Structures are given as structure tokens and as C-alpha cells.
Amino acid sequence: MIKAWLRNFRDKIFGINKLEFRIDKKAKEYSDFKFKELKAMEILKPYFPNGYVFETSYTLSFQIIQHIANDIIIHKPQTILEIGSGLSTIILSNLISELKHDPNFISIDQDLKWQNHIKPHCKNVEFFNFDITKNEESTFDWSWFNIPKDSFLREIKFDLVIIDGPKGFESKYARYGIIDFLKGRVMESTIVFLDDTDREDEQFILQNLRDTLSFKFCDSFYKYSRLTQTNFIVTSPS
């Protein structure tokens, strides 16, 4: 039988205890995420579309949708920009209708067929469809929506921005283009949600978003992050 001191020495050398700690921590984080996901799903259920709920691996987690819904209820944003149309568009549209709130809600996506499937469920959302083009001037790989230079979308200031597109297979840093798009159009009231910040690529984009647009606060959760200029009201789900 291996002696205790020798076993501890072996574990220290090979980092076994640290590995077990990391595995336990990840398992707990995932367990907490699943529990909160079920809770958020129940809270948001009244705002689901009628009939079958089309949910995929690309769909925003119900926790981030609940967090966004909390911000809409508290802050009443006048201009909402969503990058990546989906189930979240329907849920938030239904919530806004119930609140009798009338913001300028804009949803951008590259998949027109998918947007046409969603449109009938979202009467208070303006949908825009643009192709994805590669940025040839950048020193690294990213592509973005080919929004015309004279588009009115380039003149609006946004209170709430939800970033869940373009889809990651478009390029390694597919969402990097949002940084240039938002330059000069964020305000003291602006709140930005970036999904999938548990991934390395999105961490890079998150850091550049914060630095370039001078956000003072950045709160990160299991799979998403929220950027703001003020942080006096907590809206994150429990």
C-alpha cells in the first residue's frame, strides 16, 4: 500500500488534486446551469409561441432570455437590436406586447428562410436580412453582415443590443463586426448581451467590445456576458 505522504507527493507532482477540483467545479457549474435553465423556462413559458417550440443548439439559453426580459421590464429600452433571429425574438416580442411597450425592435440575420418562419409570430419586430461578407482589411479572420453604408441602421443609437450572430461557422471571429458597427452609437443607457462567452473566440470579442466602446462594467455568467455603463440595479436571474 502506498504511504500517505508518498501519495500526496505524487498527487502534487501530477496535479491530481487540482484536476479533481476542476472536474468537480465544472460539474457543479453545469448542474447549476441546468437547474436555472429549467427555472427560466418555466418563467418564460407564457411567452412561448403557440404549439411546438423550435429550440436548437443555436438558440439562446432561457437564462439569458430571462435576463434580457428583466432588463426590458426595468429599463424600457426604446431601441433594441438583436443580431441573430430565433426563439428569443418570439419570446421577447410577446413580452413586449404584454407590457404595452412600443420600442423600435430590430432583428438582423443572414438566413431569410428562417426569418420568414419567425415573422408571423413577431408583429412588433422589424426584420432585416443581409449576406455575410469577409472583411479583407483585418489582420485576422472575421466576416460580418453586408449592411450598406447608407443604411439607416448605421445611424440609430441602441439602448439594448443582443449578440447571437452571425453563426460561428461563418468565420473564427464571426461576431467581431459588431464592434465597428456600434462605434459612436452606444449611450449611457446602453446594455449589451454577448452570448457564448464560455468560448475562447467570444472572450476575445468581449474584451474588445469592452475596451473599444469603453463599457465600465462587464458581468459574466455561465454562457453569456452583459456590458453596461451603470450597474445600480441587479437584473440577473437568481
Phi, psi for 108 (deg, rounded to 5): -115, 135
| Cα 53 from Cα 82, distance rounded (Å) | 20
DSSP-assigned letter for residue 154: G
The Cα angle at residue 25 between residues 23 and 28, in degrees rounded to 5: 110
The Cα angle at residue 166 between residues 187 and 146, in degrees rounded to 5: 80
Quick: pLDDT tens for 181-217: 999 999 999 999 999 999 998 999 999 999 999 999 9
> Cα–Cα distances in Å, from 174 out to 11, 106, 130?
41, 20, 14
Quick: pLDDT tens for 77-89: 999 999 999 999 9
Architecture per CATH, domain 46-228, reads as 3-Layer(aba) Sandwich (3.40)
Q: Are 156 and 185 in contact (CB under 8 A)?
A: yes
All cell numbers assigned to 128: 432585416
Q: Residue ranges of the domains in the chain?
A: 46-228
**Residue predicted with more confidence, 170 or 235:** 235
| Cα 117 from Cα 87, distance rounded (Å) | 11
Report helix, strand or coil for 39.
helix
Task: Please determine, for residue 229, whether its predicted confidence score (pLDDT) is greater than 80.
Answer: yes
The Cα angle at residue 207 between residues 79 and 65, in degrees rounded to 5: 45
pLDDT range class, residue 10, cuts 50, 70, 90? low
| Per-residue burial over 152-177, b = 16 or more CB atoms within 10 Å of its CB, e = otherwise | ebeeeebbbbbbbbbeeebbebbbbb
pLDDT range class, residue 62, cuts 50, 70, 90? very high
